[in-house]
Amino acid sequence: MNEDHSIVVVGESLAGVTTARELRRLGHRGSLTIVGDERHAAYNRPPLSKQVLDPELPAEASALGVENLGAAVVRDAATGLDLDRGHVRLASGEVRTFDTAVIATGASARRLAAPGQRGELVLRTLDDARRIRTLLRTATSAVVVGAGFLGMEVVSACVRRGVDVTVVDVEPPLRRLLGPYLSEVTLARARAAGVDVRVDPRGVTLLGDPVTGVRFGDGTTLTADLVVTCAGDVANTGWLAGSGLEVTSGVVIDAAGRTSRPGVHAAGDVVAVRTPRGPVRRPFWANAVRQGRVAAHGILGVPDAPAVFDDYFWTEILGGVVKIIGDLPLEGEPQVLEGSLAEGAVLSWPGRDGGSTVVAWGLKRPLPRLRALAAAATNGSA
């Protein structure tokens, strides 16, 4: 690719920064612009619900430095993409032209507040995490709406700080993502830690303006000092309206990171990957890194790009680190490969398509070891 070729990456976070780094590593010498709408320089989000909510640790997330990339960083929101003219419009009114564009605008927290209802707390940005950290200092009670990974991490932060916490969901904790077996294990662990776990299949609504609690499906209410919504995320695609790109639950890409229009690639939480089962979103850290690398290979025409999904995910629940490699959700009983559930274990489930999913549950094991165990389980030798 010649030195006149200009690339604009929209989204200054994990997927965007990884794409930019990989473009330079693979030899792109032309101009590179990164557009990001946050006031902070790029940072990692996983520490927000772990370290930043811990009063003993600094209220900082690790930086995703873009120094030394020879990239122009523009701190502004992209408001439109004009593919006929090859330009991105910015909120300031400025226009950035490109030969190739990369969409890496990630996702926002899904909100439950009614129109005009104020005071809903979510956890997506460094500012969100710092606000919740401050409120946790004086709170004595909390309600967390949503018992997925993020919700259970916020619950864990409350437990660590001695805050009485109730978590509510339409299903038992982590059921959708991890399946019934590990959901039961999580439920038992949460109850043993004093967490009030409530399941209401009708779902809750937020109570008060500003928000002070939740109303259950039967009309009963629960109030708390702190109410945090952790109800999933929504891809940031609104600014692409009228661009002509195919968008479903996210910007649709193929296995090479290409969108439906030539010269436009996408990566990270904003994408839905076309699969035989339809477009699939897997908004996890390792996928944002992987898809940034895939996008850079595709843009520069470098062969041997990695696979578009990296099925690795980790979380921290009630003091235990959980690492997962493979397809989700997990059905049936696992095989125990190492340790025991009471002390921490490495577990294995048969996955779809003949693969295996390996989970380290409360037992510290390095990632390469877990990948080797997953490969061995798939080959029938574990």
What is the dihedral angle through the alpha carbons of 45, 50, 51, 54, rounded to the nearest 10 degrees? 140
Which residue in the set 51, 105, 229, 243 belongs to the binding site for ligand FAD (CB under 6 A)? 105
| Residue 349: φ, ψ to 5° | -125, 145
Q: Which range binds ligand FAD by CB under 6 A, 44-52, 293-301, 330-338, 374-382?
A: 44-52
Q: Is 66 in the site for ligand FAD (CB under 6 A)?
A: no
Could you say which of 23, 32, 35, 190 contacts ligand FAD (CB under 6 A)? 35
Comparison of 42 and 163: residue with beta carbon closer to ligand FAD: 42
**β pairing state of 356-361 and 344-350:** antiparallel
Q: How many CB atoms lie within 10 A of CB 246?
A: 14
For 157-194, the DSSP string reads: HHHHTT-EEEEEESSSTTHHHH-HHHHHHHHHHHHHTT
Residue 14 as a binder of ligand FAD (CB under 6 A): the answer is yes
Q: Where are the beta strands (DSSP E) in 254-331?
A: 264-266, 271-273, 312-317, 320-325
Toward ligand FAD, which CB reaches closer, 107 or 206?
A: 107
Residues 6+ apart with CB under 8 A from 131: 121
Residues 193-232 that bind ligand FAD (CB under 6 A): none
Is residue 357 within the footprint of ligand FAD (CB under 6 A)? no
The answer to the question of residue 9 lying near ligand FAD (CB under 6 A) is no
Minimal distance in Å, beta carbon 294 to ligand FAD? 13
User: Two tokens at 112?
Assistant: 């439950």
Of 7, 8, 9, 12, the one binding ligand FAD by CB under 6 A: 12
When binding is defined by CB under 6 A, the residue of 33, 236, 243, 356 that contacts ligand FAD is: 236
Residue 21 CB, nearest approach to ligand FAD (Å): 12
CB atoms within 10 A of CB 12: 27
CB of 304 to ligand FAD, least distance (A): 23
Question: What is the nearest approach in angstroms of ligand FAD to the Cβ of residue 370?
Answer: 14
| Smallest distance from ligand FAD to CB 228, Å | 11
- In the chain, the amino acid numbered 75 is R
- Taking the least distance from each CB to ligand FAD, the nearer of 104 and 214 is 104
Stretch that binds ligand FAD, among 98-106, 189-197, 217-225, 241-249 (CB under 6 A): 98-106
- The number of CA neighbours under 13 Å toward the Cβ of 268 is 29
CB 274 within 8 A of CB 252: yes
| 3-state helix, strand and coil shares in percent for the chain, rounded to the nearest 5 | 25, 30, 45
CA proximity to 261, closest of 273, 253, 269: 253
User: What residues numbered 106-135 form the site for ligand FAD, per CB under 6 A?
Assistant: 106-107, 123-124
In the complex, the smallest distance separating the C-beta of residue 337 from ligand FAD, rounded to whole angstroms, is 22
N- to C-terminal Cα separation, the chain: 46
Sheet holding 356-361, edge to edge: 312-317, 320-325, 356-361, 344-350, 335-340
Q: How far is the CB of 104 from ligand FAD (least distance, A)?
A: 5
Q: Which is nearer to ligand FAD, 38 or 196 (CB)?
A: 38
Where in 263-322 is the site for ligand FAD (CB under 6 A)? 268-270, 283-286, 288, 313-315
Angstrom distance (rounded) from CA 172 to CA 179: 10
Is residue 177 involved in binding ligand FAD (CB under 6 A)? Answer: no
Contact between 32 and 3 under an 8 Å Cβ cutoff? The reply is no
CB of 15 or CB of 222, closer to ligand FAD: 15
Q: What pairs with residue 265 in β-bridges?
A: 102, 258
User: Which residues contribute to the site for ligand FAD (CB under 6 A)?
Assistant: 10-16, 35-38, 45-46, 48-49, 77-78, 104-107, 123-124, 150, 236, 239, 268-270, 283-286, 288, 313-315
